[in-house]
Amino acid sequence: MFDFNSLNLSEVKLDDYSPLPVGEYEAIIDAFKIETNKNANGVNAIITYRITSDGYQNRQLKQWLVLSNPRKTAVEIAKQKLVRLINAIDPIGGVDKANSNGEVFFVNQVIGLKLSIKPAEGNFSASNNVDYAFSLKDRKPQLPIAEDQPKDADIPF
């Protein structure tokens, strides 16, 4: 039997799984996988992002895009998000490159993400939702205002 008294658990730092604040973030795509869904009636793209913005480095997010499913609305939303992601990576010819290179087209690409918060529901806690991806070539992410900073502070002159 293991002796738990030999472990010093009082100094262990727990990971924070609370959602990131609503806002825009710089991220890198760590993984892009295509898998059959658990009901075996559709196909999902599962994208793993790693946040690289200051203050939130190395936080991971996953996004599931429904590419094939009897629910046509879910597929249409996923297609729109996928095209926006492809255009954030390569706005000229990106769709053709993604079609010809498949999953490897996405991995290690640096992009911007607009995040919102999906409220807790049932057994699921609150989580981030990737609203859309954008290119960092034209603009920088608008990071959220820290909770302790006034949002409408007067500018001193």
The residue extents of the domains of the chain are: 18-134
C-alpha–C-alpha distance, residues 131 and 90, integer Å: 19
Please report which confidence band the pLDDT of residue 1 belongs to, taking 50, 70 and 90 as the band edges. Answer: confident
Identify the pLDDT of residue 145: 64
For the ranges 25-34, 46-55, 106-115, 134-143, the lowest mean pLDDT is seen at: 134-143
Q: Where are the alpha helices (DSSP H) in the chain?
A: 72-89, 94-101
**Quick one: pLDDT at residue 102?**
86
Tens digit of each residue's pLDDT (9 = 90 or more) over 36-69: 999 999 999 999 999 999 889 999 999 999 999 9
| Cβ neighbours for 107, distance < 8 A, ≥ 6 positions apart | 29, 30, 31, 32
pLDDT of residue 157: 43
Nearest Cα neighbor of 16 from 58, 53, 71, 63 is 58
- What is the value of pTM for the model shown? 0.80
Residue 6 in this model has a pLDDT that exceeds 70: yes
Instruction: Note the pLDDT tens digit of each residue in 80-129.
Output: 999 999 999 998 889 999 988 888 999 999 999 999 999 999 999 999 99
Residues 95 and 8: their CA atoms lie apart, in Å, by: 52
